[in-house]
């Protein structure tokens, strides 16, 4: 009987050993509670790496998005603009506050929120409570233009950089353009803490307020006193230790992710039907996931590519299904400026995410590439 083929993952955690050092320290000093020296240090180290100003370490990127939504002043019934082509975690926190997401189409240059469609959304809904911009798959959005539009209309900008830690737009790290920046350290991200996230802001008072809300909003009284509703959203000291160890290897992870993208791009360059996910020429992507699209009318479908790779125990993933096509948001408005099928629906129909694990060996990459090439022979 043949041995089962090794699993090739989409994007799994990569540990180095430095993580263990910080985690051991937490155990040795009995700081296994929430908060502690690793949390404080991880916040400072991440802020130094990104240039975001200040950061609050939280239990998840989603928790960071929720606190950003609250701090932006989003209330029940408010309109919030968000890209349609994203993971649901980008918009769920607005729904926690009973706000109403209005979804914005993508532009084909980066697959991110289309500034032209955002302007069109303002014509229909002049006073949204917030704009959520996402850097999809680690590719910087046209964030300069998006920020300009938000400033013109005095709208808080929540920048979801959950997928794009280490990516740069015009020399500045993603997550540092908005009034609030969000990072995720979920298990599949470029660095991981197993679970966890950060809320970042230039304004120290904003981050202090986030920390207060994230620790049950306990007033500075001797007894337990609460003047506002709080949340249990702080990162644990053990988890933060993993993050500190991971951050030491950030540049190495970044270089490997970018090399994977280049290898796919070069390997498929002669196949006219395949395009890799587009890069923003004004920025540098972290290439968290490398994605491909297949041109309209080609007999090979994304499902066939995913099935062919699955037969070799290789993990892939469809492109995020746009939010405006999700059953939960069937009643929500969607704004597009392109005639006919929206950009995001087109990308969803024709695309898939390729294995982008930084532990992929040259043999792994060769196998993936040859399986895909075989379908287009």
Q: Tokens standing for 307?
A: 């099935």
pLDDT band at 4 (very low <50, low <70, confident <90, very high): confident
Taking alpha carbons only, the member of 161, 178, 200 closest to residue 67 is: 200
Three-state DSSP state, 185: coil
The per-residue pLDDT for range 291-326, each reduced to its tens digit, is 999 999 999 999 999 999 999 999 999 999 999 999
Query: Hey, what CATH class is 18-247 in?
Result: alpha beta
**How does the average pLDDT of the chain come out, rounded?**
97
Out of 3.40.50.720, 3.90.1150.10, 3.40.50.2000, 3.40.50.150, the CATH code matching 250-375 is: 3.90.1150.10
pLDDT band at 3 (very low <50, low <70, confident <90, very high): low
- Contacts of residue 96, Cβ cutoff 8 Å, sequence gap at least 6: 66, 69
The per-residue pLDDT for range 17-71, each reduced to its tens digit, is 999 999 999 999 999 988 899 999 999 999 999 999 999 999 999 999 999 999 9
Task: List beta partners, residue 82.
Answer: 103
The mean pLDDT value for 282-288 works out to 98
- Domain ranges (residues) in the chain: 18-247, 250-375
What pLDDT is recorded for position 125? 98
What is the distance between the alpha carbons of residues 86 and 93, in angstroms, rounded to a whole number?
A: 14
């Amino acid at each position: 009987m043949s041995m089962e083929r090794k699993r090739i993952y989409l994007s799994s955690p990569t540990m180095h050993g430095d993580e263990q050092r910080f985690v051991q320290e937490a155990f040795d000093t009995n700081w296994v509670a929430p908060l502690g020296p690793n949390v404080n240090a991880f916040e400072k180290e991440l802020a130094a790496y990104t240039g975001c100003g200040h950061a609050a370490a939280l239990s998840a990127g989603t928790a960071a998005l929720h606190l950003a939504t609250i701090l932006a002043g989003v209330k029940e019934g408010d309109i919030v603009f968000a890209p349609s082509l994203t993971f649901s975690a980008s918009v769920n926190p607005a729904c926690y506050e009973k706000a109403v997401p209005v979804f914005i189409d993508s532009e084909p240059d980066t697959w991110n929120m289309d500034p032209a469609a955002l302007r069109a959304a303002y014509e229909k809904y002049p006073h949204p409570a917030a704009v959520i911009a996402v850097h999809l798959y680690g590719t910087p959005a046209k964030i300069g233009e998006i920020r300009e539009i938000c400033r013109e209309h005095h709208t808080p900008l929540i920048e979801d950089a959950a997928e794009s830690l280490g990516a740069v737009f015009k020399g500045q790290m993603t997550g540092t353009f908005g009034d609030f920046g969000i990072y995720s350290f979920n298990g599949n991200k470029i660095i991981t803490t197993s679970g966890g996230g950060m809320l970042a802001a230039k304004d120290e008072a904003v981050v202090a307020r986030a920390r207060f809300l994230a620790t049950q909003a306990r007033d500075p009284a001797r007894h337990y006193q609460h003047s506002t509703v709080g949340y249990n959203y702080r990162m644990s000291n053990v988890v933060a230790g993993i993050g500190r160890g991971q951050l030491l290897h950030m540049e190495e992870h970044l270089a490997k992710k970018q090399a994977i993208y280049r290898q796919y791009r070069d390997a498929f360059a002669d196949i006219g039907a395949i395009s890799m996910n587009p890069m923003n020429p004004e920025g540098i992507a972290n290439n968290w996931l490398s994605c491909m699209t297949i041109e309209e009318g080609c007999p090979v479908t994304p499902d066939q590519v995913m099935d062919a790779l699955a037969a070799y125990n290789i993990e892939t993933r469809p492109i995020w299904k746009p939010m405006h096509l999700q059953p939960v948001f069937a009643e929500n408005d969607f704004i597009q400026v392109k005639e006919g099928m929206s950009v995001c629906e087109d990308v969803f129909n024709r695309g898939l995410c390729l294995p982008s694990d930084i532990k992929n060996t040259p043999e792994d990459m060769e196998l993936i590439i040859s399986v895909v090439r075989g379908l287009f022979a």
